[in-house]
Amino acid sequence: MVSPDLLPQEPKEAPKRRATAEAMASRQREISVSEFFTKNRHLLGFDNPAKALLTTVKEAVDNALDACEEAGILPEIVVDIKEVGKDRFKVIIEDNGPGIVKAQMAKIFAKLLYGSKFHRLKQSRGQQGIGISAAVLYAQLTTGKPAIITSKIGKGRPAHKIGLRIDTKSNAPDVTSDEIVPWDKEHGTRIELELQAAYRGGRTGVDSYLEQTVVANPHLGLIFDPPKGEPTVYPRASEELPREAKEIKPHPHGVELGMLQMMLSDAPDETIKHVLTDRFSRVSAAVADEICVKAAVGPKMRAGDVHGDELDRLHKALGEVKVMAPSADCVVPIGEDLLKTGLRRRYPKAEFYASSTRPPSVYRGNPFVVEVGLAYGGDMPTDESADVMRFANRVPLQYQPKACAISESVYQTNWKAYEVSQPKGSLPVGPLAVVVHLASVWVPFTSEAKEAVAHYDDLMRELRLAVQECGRKLATYLRAQHKAQSEQKRLGIFQRYIPEVAEALSIILERDKDEIARQFQAALPNFVRLGQTTEGADVAAEEAPPAPSMLPPADSAAPPSMGEPPAGFDNDVSSSEIPAKKPGKSKN
Amino acid sequence: MVSPDLLPQEPKEAPKRRATAEAMASRQREISVSEFFTKNRHLLGFDNPAKALLTTVKEAVDNALDACEEAGILPEIVVDIKEVGKDRFKVIIEDNGPGIVKAQMAKIFAKLLYGSKFHRLKQSRGQQGIGISAAVLYAQLTTGKPAIITSKIGKGRPAHKIGLRIDTKSNAPDVTSDEIVPWDKEHGTRIELELQAAYRGGRTGVDSYLEQTVVANPHLGLIFDPPKGEPTVYPRASEELPREAKEIKPHPHGVELGMLQMMLSDAPDETIKHVLTDRFSRVSAAVADEICVKAAVGPKMRAGDVHGDELDRLHKALGEVKVMAPSADCVVPIGEDLLKTGLRRRYPKAEFYASSTRPPSVYRGNPFVVEVGLAYGGDMPTDESADVMRFANRVPLQYQPKACAISESVYQTNWKAYEVSQPKGSLPVGPLAVVVHLASVWVPFTSEAKEAVAHYDDLMRELRLAVQECGRKLATYLRAQHKAQSEQKRLGIFQRYIPEVAEALSIILERDKDEIARQFQAALPNFVRLGQTTEGADVAAEEAPPAPSMLPPADSAAPPSMGEPPAGFDNDVSSSEIPAKKPGKSKN
Amino acid sequence: MAAKKTTKTARNEPPPRPKMRPMGQLAPIERQTIEKIDTLARSAVEAVARGENPAMQMKMRALSNVSFNEKKRIIELGDKTQSREFFNTSMARKFMQTFLIANRCKELVGEGKTVSIRQMYYLTKHTLKGTSENTFEGQEESDPIIEDLEVTIDTLREELHLFANKRGLVTGNLVVNDAGDEIDLSKMGRGGWGIPSICEEKELKFVRNDAKFILLVEKQAVWHRLNEDRFWQKQNCILMTSEGQAARGVRRLLQRLSGELKLPVYCLVDNDPWGLYIYSVLKQGSINLAFESMRLAVPNVRFIGMSSLDYEKFDLPSAVEIKLSKEDIQRAQQMKKYPWFADAKWQREIDALLKNGFKMEVDSLLSKSIEFMTEEYLPKKLRDRDYLT
Amino acid sequence: MAAKKTTKTARNEPPPRPKMRPMGQLAPIERQTIEKIDTLARSAVEAVARGENPAMQMKMRALSNVSFNEKKRIIELGDKTQSREFFNTSMARKFMQTFLIANRCKELVGEGKTVSIRQMYYLTKHTLKGTSENTFEGQEESDPIIEDLEVTIDTLREELHLFANKRGLVTGNLVVNDAGDEIDLSKMGRGGWGIPSICEEKELKFVRNDAKFILLVEKQAVWHRLNEDRFWQKQNCILMTSEGQAARGVRRLLQRLSGELKLPVYCLVDNDPWGLYIYSVLKQGSINLAFESMRLAVPNVRFIGMSSLDYEKFDLPSAVEIKLSKEDIQRAQQMKKYPWFADAKWQREIDALLKNGFKMEVDSLLSKSIEFMTEEYLPKKLRDRDYLT
């Protein structure tokens, strides 16, 4: 370090001292988390009016879905957005979830940093315990209106309806009204918020969020009543609730040093070995011993005494020891059938649907599952890029498609091998929608804004394989289609050209044109299977499973070997195969 | 709202209920703000290792500068970054500020949401009371190492050196060591952190941050000791501390509804009129009455009783009433001289410096000042885009230049009118550096990530005028340069061509070549002022002030009228002025 | 390289004095040209001797000084002039260049040689002593100076003994004498005689003519087809091709044949805006050579085809259609506004093109049969006097 | 428009039978060509009568089947062949097209007419009955089919009575007879005789030759300069210009003059990679016309200039230098690898170009003086036998 002596001398005339350290200390005070987020609401997704509306709807719907699933209820959700003034909207989200007990209602909706999901390691949509109360705070800040919450926890129980504000100075709920109201619903929760907002369409709008949510959640019945136009009803497409995700303990791979330190200091009097076996998943006594040997620390050392180098070594050893991947039951994919069901709901007029769910795989100790679905044909535009929907734990990712490993897996796939056109390095072009879902306890996002999935090798490989698997199903279908049409087409080609050839030959040879044409027609059946109609080509396109050993090497971006072209197609050495290098200036 | 009856009937076989509302309620718990930010550190600028390093340095340096200025001390700061392992850095920032009293040291550095600046409306660098403790949290999380803080508040007082960790569960400081150490400094603070980070160069790196900070803070003496290479010393360039910014009350224009509501509920028993005159700036009794009349509320109404429509009307009236802009002494520009001083420090070899500070102006009730400085020539590259540095309240803006009104004001200016080349719609190209500083109590950023300034009309106008003012100073200088060279150049041109013309004429006319050349030379003085040397053109380039009435209309992007071209230049109707439309295929 | 350059620069000695023919041996037009150059040079030297700024006056060749002369039916330059002075920083270089070119032109005329404008560039390009500056940095600098000299001393480029690349072939019942050789254009086999770049009286004389008219076709392949079928013999005419847009030689030759031999000229171009443009330039000159229209334009040239109306008239198959491009349509719409196409019959022709929505190549007449053009299309058109002017 | 189209389609009646000359009136080469076409057609009809897939065999014209024959020193096609069948979806259209072209070629030969390849496109283009499909959608479809036919029946394009646009002029001490006209090439004035596209023996015969060699110059303006200075008279030679890359007519004429009259051929091109390329194509043919090298290449043509060494040798001023572009350099480096430039003298020549770092145009010789090329440069080169082969 350089000595400050290098700096120029103090000026002769020192500036007048203004405040002393003591005076300044007297101004220091604590800031409530609500005050903080009031000033910094962009941190929670309330950057601008349009994003504020999306965030509000998203937080409420995600919460409702999580609550229904945790309670084992098939969700029915109504989203209602009304324009109530210039740049002012009322947002109502009502669910049929388990309801909220009266005592918790105020805190859940009007205290920032309060919730049940934050401290658990479990696949769920919400995580923070901050989203919905941030929406309440934003509404209050921009319109001054309290949030109105109605909730009922069961048949015969009262429905409580309360008005709520947040006291930002203390981050505590302020109940402005409280009544019992009649509600014919058995159970459920309803939230009404009035906020300054902007309603926008497009990829990052509320409509898109809901359309995509419906694809990834076939068990969801949804009604969406937008500010303008008729309501859209998405009837439930599946009566099957997703399996409940298991909560797990942290896996030794990928735990951060600070996290380890905290886990140790949480149980200062236990032995290291005990902490390892008790608080991590997949760490047996033998594994714990191995870790301790690697780290050169005694397994019986007090957890509270681990500091400095010992901590570093223990952390390193945890990352290096061989342990089983955590049980995959902490990850809940949508499943192949339901993914197609979801696609059918969003694209009811497509002509073909397919899906593939990969077996669970592990990334840095975190189990994950990739699944891909696609819909093809029907009323989708044929000259536009495929519609790609990205999901992480059933939640649509609406921002940053370019930076996302999911999008990359779609455009790096060689779709031409699957009979879909594709400009170089771009998304495929055609009447195609592709859904990719990544389910994991811990999704590796590129930034912690959770907008795009990072490009890790293990993940990319699974993503690519899943897209390729699904692509092959599409290819099988399309080839069967083409083949059925091809014999008919072949016939047409020959019949179109026979008169021309016959005429030319007849003039050259001065022979009868019709006779030559007749001879060509007579030879025709030797080259076209005229008897075979095109209708019988019944290919169960969605079923054709490639043997796993046929999979291309995971690292190669090359198209999978597609075998020989289907019979009935000819290979021609192009007869105009002139070298590309032309002499330049003049052409004779 | 659509009735949920539209949804399909409940399924015959309802899924098994999993958890009840009661069971779920039991899992709800409070989350500490430290826990929250541990999981969401990207919200505080710790997205990735490179940005984490920048954020750490920035928070510490900004705090040091704020503290020095508040205490009236000319700042001397040492920034020392050492690489201590793979992806691990030790960051040390030491200042000569007022120091921190012992009792506050732990909280200031190891409690999130604690500080002196959050609740004040005053131009300063830091605002949140969260940045430096977030750096401590990040360091702890990635390396497990406590922060080491040393502070001394005056001559003869002890220097305290403490080790600090944050107990994330309670968001409270945990002092791991505490000692008194000898320190030859009179007063100051030193912080040492060890963190996982990456050291990068470029526009968004630490080097760039410090280089720019030095430009906007000429009173700062800085030593920077980077991980590799020699330390850079920036001696203080000015002995003058910036004037202390005055703290102000909120201005009625632009106050948000939620804010107003809080101000009223903070003083429930006071009258509306009293709250308005007491808690807002520039609201006299007469103005308060006018507001109440507009809002149709009684001035003597209890503040605590204002709700619903009354609140809305009052908010609206506050935005509409005519009030004076707040006093400009809450805004502290750098000043024209010091801006040039700062530029000289960064670009010591430039040949010309200029700066312009605009008078204060007001945007939505917020006073602001724009100032622009530029450096030209010397060792700057002539074929690259100008270096543009953007500052808000003396803090460099390093991200999102494309989205920023400041950059736009630079590239929308017609630099060709100022003798600097400029590709269409781009930054000027040449040996040029431009500094733009926006000082305001409230800087309108495009997003609340505070990376780019929004495009508001009032602001754009001032930005443009400031850039143009400075540009004209540059133009005056460059034209004087050109003019001094031009007579010499004219002479050179004629002398170069005379032999050629003479030879051609001599051959055509079969006359003596030397005689013709002599006649041309003899005529030369009639057309070039040979007697006038080029040295006398002493133009005080930086002084040429345009009359304010000559300013172009603020909305026009057109170049200001530059008057007639300087004498000594000829205008030629180009003799090869062939119409652009050529016949196409063939050219004879 | 650097060392070598220095040696090279030193070599740039002034060129040797031209080997002039005695004035008596020169043709009158050659003497005139030389006198014009001498006068220009003399006036510069006299001005500077008086201490004045030597200057030359020239007609402006800017678009703003070009207009269509309704009476003469040619595009010509107006009267606006500009002055080029030596003692003016932005004109000095061009002033110098003008005299470099003038000097070399006098030499060419004196020696009786001709060079191309590219060769003139090399003749006048050299490095200025003690600098890295060249007298001309590229041909794009010397070409406009040549045009400047033409308008300044009111001469044709050909009179300055400069030529652009030639293009065009001719056969037919005409005998010419060129540079002393007598050439019977009816005995040219399939090759045809290459039309010289310079077709002034001094070099090219018409010896004997039996032809009754001239047919100029745009395309070489069409000319070939017609020549192979001995069309010029059967119809007793002169058959020329301009091989695209007509070069100066073709235009000058056409003008002279039309004027001196009083022969009507027919023009056969593709049915597209470009074809119309080729015809239009032949007829009234072009904007960028407006200063020479008097010597190049052939105002009474007749447009014999292909007309948009031929599609119906000759019952052409649909295979001849080529869809108009957006550019074609824009161009045709522009042409409708040209003053020389203001006449109703031209408006009808262009409207028909736009209405058809397709253009046609002359070659496409072969889709009827190989001989269709020679034996039906052109004879019928000529017989019916089915042309536009 | 739609209604009109329908009418048009109905018009596409088969063309009338050609007006063939009796076989007896045909030249032997013409009879041969017709027989080849007949054989091809007959084999197709016979195959289909047997219920087989009618097919034709042709040499592949792909790059993979082209190589440099070190012995003959020409680029030629190898022996790989491909088959074109009718009953094959990807070949049927081309099969049909080949016979449309073959039919029209027989007609042309029979009638003794020639057409351009563009005209052939129009001759064979029509709409298929009941569809909107054309027999050819563009000339880019018919041109390769013509080449296919050439290799299939082993004929030259000229023998099929097809020509590409011609280019090139000639003067000099030679008398030819073309299509019955006797033409004295020493009496062509400044215009020169246009070299026909087709220079086969049947039409073009050499009547009398006094010349001792042939000089071919790339550029028309250079030819003009030399012709004006009567270079061919002073040096007793034949003076040709290819006007850029040599067209087939020029190449064939050169080959015949070189072979039948045993005249050496000198080639004068710009000193740049493009000039070398023009020389190279003249000498050993080109990759894309490899199947015709035997009839077009002139392996003993001599490269007389401009050489990179001329700069020093003739003390040229620096004004002649034009900086090599990146593309030039790449191209020159490629050329160094061509087998026909493997000889040390060629390597030295190309290395000198790269070392100079600049290229030169033949026109730039004028920067020495107007007559330099005619009176010094070429005579000295010829005298010193200063050329490459």
Per-residue pLDDT tens for D93-126? 999 999 999 999 999 999 889 999 999 999 999 9
Q: Assess whether B343 and B433 both reside in one domain.
A: yes
CATH 3.40.1360.10 domain locations along chain D: 169-383
Identify whether the C-beta of residue A557 lies closer than 8 Å to the C-beta of residue A414. Answer: yes
Residue B126 sits in which domain range? Answer: 33-234
Judged on CB neighbours under 10 Å (0-12, 13-18, 19+), B50 is middle
Q: Which residues, numbered 126 to 185 in chain D, qualify as contacts with chain C under a Cβ-Cβ cut-off of 8 Å?
A: 126-127, 134, 163, 165-166, 169, 176-183
Identify whether the C-beta of residue A418 lies closer than 8 Å to the C-beta of residue A471. Answer: yes
Does residue A256 register a pLDDT over 50?
A: yes
User: Measured between alpha carbons, how far is D354 from D358 in angstroms, rounded to an integer?
Assistant: 7
B523 has a chain C CB within 8 A of its CB? yes
Q: How many residues does chain B have?
A: 588
pTM: 0.54
Q: From D93, D74, D75, select the one nearest D85 (Cα to Cα).
A: D93
Active site residue D121: no
User: Measured between alpha carbons, how far is D314 from D319 in angstroms, rounded to an integer?
Assistant: 14
Given pLDDT bands bounded at 50, 70 and 90, which one contains residue D377? very high
Paired tokens of B18 = 């999993």
**A19 closest CB neighbour out of B47, B70, B94:** B70
Q: What is the pLDDT of residue B76?
A: 95
Identify whether the C-beta of residue A465 lies closer than 8 Å to the C-beta of residue A551. Answer: yes
Q: From A577, A587, A575, C191, select the one nearest D281 (Cα to Cα).
A: A587
Q: How close C380 gets to chain B, by Cα (Å)?
A: 31
Q: Which residues of C touch D377 (CB under 8 A)?
A: none
**C221 closest CB neighbour out of D119, D169, D194:** D119
User: Measured between alpha carbons, how far is B68 from B224 in angstroms, rounded to an integer?
Assistant: 18
Q: Assess whether A107 and A48 both reside in one domain.
A: yes
Q: Assess whether B515 and B546 both reside in one domain.
A: yes
What CATH number was assigned to the domain covering residues D23-163?
1.10.10.10
Task: Please give the sequence-ordered ranges of beta strands (E in DSSP) within chain C, or none if there are none.
Answer: 55-59, 66-69, 74-77, 81-85, 115-116, 162-163, 169-172, 174-178, 181-184, 193-194, 204-209, 213-217, 237-241, 265-268, 302-305, 322-323, 358-359
Q: What is the pLDDT of residue B263?
A: 84
Question: Which position among D122, D279, D311, D338 bears the catalytic label?
Answer: D122
SS3 at position D368: coil
Q: Assess whether B133 and B191 both reside in one domain.
A: yes
Q: Which residues of D touch A576 (CB under 8 A)?
A: 61, 144, 148
- Higher-confidence residue: A543 or C134? C134
Q: Which residues contact A460 (CB under 8 A, 6 or more apart)?
A: A405, A408, A409
Q: Assess whether A404 and A549 both reside in one domain.
A: no
Q: Which residues of B touch C17 (CB under 8 A)?
A: 507
Q: Assess whether A417 and A398 both reside in one domain.
A: yes
Q: From B241, B193, B202, select the one nearest B79 (Cα to Cα).
A: B193
Q: From A52, A42, A139, A63, select the one nearest A108 (Cα to Cα).
A: A63
SS3 at position B564: coil
Q: From A433, A461, A214, select the one nearest A334 (Cα to Cα).
A: A214
CB atoms within 10 A of CB A103: 10
Q: What is the pLDDT of residue C298?
A: 93
| A224: β partners | A79, A232
Q: What is the pLDDT of residue C216?
A: 97
The whole-chain average pLDDT of chain A stands at 81
Given pLDDT bands bounded at 50, 70 and 90, which one contains residue D238? very high
Q: Lowest mean pLDDT of B357-361, D238-242, D254-258, name the range.
A: B357-361
**C220 closest CB neighbour out of D12, D108, D166:** D166
| Amino acid making up residue A523 | A
Q: What is the pLDDT of residue A545?
A: 35
Q: Assess whether A47 and A166 both reside in one domain.
A: yes
**D11 closest CB neighbour out of C113, C225, C315:** C315
Q: How close A491 gets to chain D, by Cα (Å)?
A: 9
Summarize pLDDT for C249-306 with one digit per residue, the tens. 999 999 999 999 999 999 999 999 999 999 999 999 988 788 888 889 999 999 998 9
Q: Lowest mean pLDDT of B42-56, B149-163, B392-406, D196-210, name the range.
A: B42-56
- CA-based torsion, A316, A320, A321, A323: positive or negative: positive
Examine residue A306 and state whether it is found in any structural domain, yes or no.
yes
Identify whether the C-beta of residue C305 lies closer than 8 Å to the C-beta of residue C296. Answer: no
Identify whether the C-beta of residue B312 lies closer than 8 Å to the C-beta of residue B257. Answer: yes
Does residue B11 register a pLDDT over 70?
A: no
Q: What is the pLDDT of residue A549?
A: 33
Q: Which residues of D touch C115 (CB under 8 A)?
A: 221, 225, 366, 370
Q: Assess whether B309 and B349 both reside in one domain.
A: no
Substitution target in A118, A122, A150, A318 with the highest count of B β-carbons within 10 Å is A118
Paired tokens of C318 = 């649909």
Q: What is the pLDDT of residue A448?
A: 53
Q: From D239, D241, D153, D256, select the one nearest D202 (Cα to Cα).
A: D256
Examine residue A9 and state whether it is found in any structural domain, yes or no.
no
- As a whole number, mean pLDDT of residues C211-224 equals 95
Examine residue B247 and state whether it is found in any structural domain, yes or no.
no
Does residue B193 register a pLDDT over 80?
A: yes
Paired tokens of B460 = 């754009």
- As a whole number, mean pLDDT of residues B281-286 equals 88
Question: Where does a domain end: A234, A265, A296?
Answer: A234
Does residue C55 register a pLDDT over 90?
A: yes
User: Measured between alpha carbons, how far is D307 from D310 in angstroms, rounded to an integer?
Assistant: 5
Q: Assess whether A88 and A215 both reside in one domain.
A: yes
A567 has a chain D CB within 8 A of its CB? no
Summarize pLDDT for D254-298 with one digit per residue, the tens. 999 999 999 999 999 999 999 999 999 999 998 878 888 888 999
Residue D219: φ, ψ to 5° = -105, 135
Q: What is the pLDDT of residue B519?
A: 94
Given pLDDT bands bounded at 50, 70 and 90, which one contains residue B486? confident
Residue B375: φ, ψ to 5° = -125, 140
The whole-chain average pLDDT of chain B stands at 81
CATH T-level topology, domain C169-383: Dna Topoisomerase Vi A Subunit; Chain: A, domain 2 (3.40.1360)
Given pLDDT bands bounded at 50, 70 and 90, which one contains residue B93? very high
Q: What is the pLDDT of residue B457?
A: 82
Q: At what angle do helices A513-523 and A457-509 cross, to 10 degrees?
A: 150
Q: Do B500 and C103 touch (CB under 8 A)?
A: no
Residue B270: φ, ψ to 5° = -80, 165
Paired tokens of A304 = 């509270």
Given pLDDT bands bounded at 50, 70 and 90, which one contains residue C56? very high
Identify whether the C-beta of residue C133 lies closer than 8 Å to the C-beta of residue C97. Answer: no
Distance of CA B365 to the CA centre of its chain: 20
Q: Do B579 and C288 touch (CB under 8 A)?
A: yes
Examine residue B545 and state whether it is found in any structural domain, yes or no.
yes
Tell the residue number behind the tokens 């189209």, with chain if given. Answer: D5
Does residue B559 register a pLDDT over 60?
A: no
| Amino acid making up residue B461 | R
Distance of CA D67 to the CA centre of its chain: 19
Paired tokens of C114 = 């001709």
Identify whether the C-beta of residue B356 lies closer than 8 Å to the C-beta of residue B372. Answer: yes
- CA-based torsion, B538, B541, B547, B551: positive or negative: positive
Q: Which residues, numbered 97 to 156 in chain A, qualify as contacts with chain D under a Cβ-Cβ cut-off of 8 Å?
A: none
Total of domains in chain A: 4
Q: In this complex, which chains have at least 3 CB pairs below 8 Å with chain B?
A: A, C
Summarize pLDDT for B94-126 with one digit per residue, the tens. 999 999 999 889 888 888 877 776 667 777 776
Examine residue A170 and state whether it is found in any structural domain, yes or no.
yes
Q: Which residues contact C103 (CB under 8 A, 6 or more apart)?
A: B504, B505, B507, B508, C37
SS (H, E, C) B456-501: CHHHHHHHHHHHHHHHHHHHHHHHHHHHHHHHHHHHHHHHHHHHHH
- CA-based torsion, D157, D160, D164, D168: positive or negative: positive
SS3 at position B147: strand
User: Measured between alpha carbons, how far is B57 from B453 in angstroms, rounded to an integer?
Assistant: 22
Summarize pLDDT for A448-458 with one digit per residue, the tens. 567 888 887 88
CB atoms within 10 A of CB A491: 17
Percent with pLDDT over 90 in chain B? 36
Does residue B546 register a pLDDT over 60?
A: no
User: Measured between alpha carbons, how far is D129 from D150 in angstroms, rounded to an integer?
Assistant: 28
Question: Where does a domain end: B279, B300, B320?
Answer: B320
Paired tokens of D242 = 């290819």
Q: Assess whether A287 and A355 both reside in one domain.
A: no
Identify whether the C-beta of residue B143 lies closer than 8 Å to the C-beta of residue B86. Answer: no
Q: Which residues contact C6 (CB under 8 A, 6 or more apart)?
A: none
Q: Which residues contact A501 (CB under 8 A, 6 or more apart)?
A: A516, A520, D44, D86, D95, D96, D99
Q: Assess whether A420 and A451 both reside in one domain.
A: yes
| Amino acid making up residue A424 | K
Q: Assess whether B57 and B99 both reside in one domain.
A: yes
Does residue A585 register a pLDDT over 70?
A: no
Q: What is the pLDDT of residue C353?
A: 96
Given pLDDT bands bounded at 50, 70 and 90, which one contains residue A557? very low
Examine residue B548 and state whether it is found in any structural domain, yes or no.
yes
Does residue A484 register a pLDDT over 60?
A: yes
The CATH number of the domain holding residue A44 is 3.30.565.10
Identify whether the C-beta of residue B93 lies closer than 8 Å to the C-beta of residue B57. Answer: yes
Q: Do D131 and A579 touch (CB under 8 A)?
A: no
Identify whether the C-beta of residue D98 lies closer than 8 Å to the C-beta of residue D85. Answer: no
Q: What is the pLDDT of residue B529?
A: 66
- As a whole number, mean pLDDT of residues A49-70 equals 90
The whole-chain average pLDDT of chain D stands at 90
Summarize pLDDT for B421-454 with one digit per residue, the tens. 888 878 898 999 999 999 988 787 776 567 888 8
Q: Write out the DSSP string of A166-191.
A: EETTTTEEEEEEEEEE---SSSEEEE
Q: Helices marked H in A40-112 — which ranges? A: 49-71, 102-110
Q: What is the pLDDT of residue C305?
A: 86
Paired tokens of A375 = 């819909």
SS3 at position C317: coil
CATH 1.10.10.10 domain locations along chain D: 23-163
Across A121-125, B14-18, B508-512, which has the greatest mean pLDDT? B508-512
Size of interface C-D (CB pairs under 8 A): 205
Q: In this complex, which chains have at least 3 CB pairs below 8 Å with chain D?
A: A, C
ipTM of this predicted complex?
Answer: 0.58
Percent with pLDDT over 90 in chain D? 72
Q: How many residues does chain C have?
A: 389
- As a whole number, mean pLDDT of residues B307-325 equals 85
User: Measured between alpha carbons, how far is D321 from D359 in angstroms, rounded to an integer?
Assistant: 6
User: Measured between alpha carbons, how far is C186 from D135 in angstroms, rounded to an integer?
Assistant: 39
Q: Which residues of C touch B569 (CB under 8 A)?
A: 89
Does residue B553 register a pLDDT over 60?
A: no
User: Measured between alpha carbons, how far is D185 from D193 in angstroms, rounded to an integer?
Assistant: 7
Q: What is the pLDDT of residue B127?
A: 62
- As a whole number, mean pLDDT of residues D341-345 equals 93
A588 has a chain D CB within 8 A of its CB? yes
| Bond into C96 cis (ω within 30) | no
| D214: β partners | D238, D265
Helix or strand run (H / E) with residue A33: helix A33-39
Q: Which residues of B touch A80 (CB under 8 A)?
A: 1-2
- As a whole number, mean pLDDT of residues A28-50 equals 76
Q: What is the pLDDT of residue B13?
A: 54
Identify whether the C-beta of residue D340 lies closer than 8 Å to the C-beta of residue D347. Answer: no
Summarize pLDDT for B146-168 with one digit per residue, the tens. 999 999 998 889 999 999 998 88
User: Measured between alpha carbons, how far is C242 from A177 in angstroms, rounded to an integer?
Assistant: 95
| Amino acid making up residue A352 | F
Q: From C246, C269, C297, C243, select the one nearest C353 (Cα to Cα).
A: C269
| Bond into C294 cis (ω within 30) | no
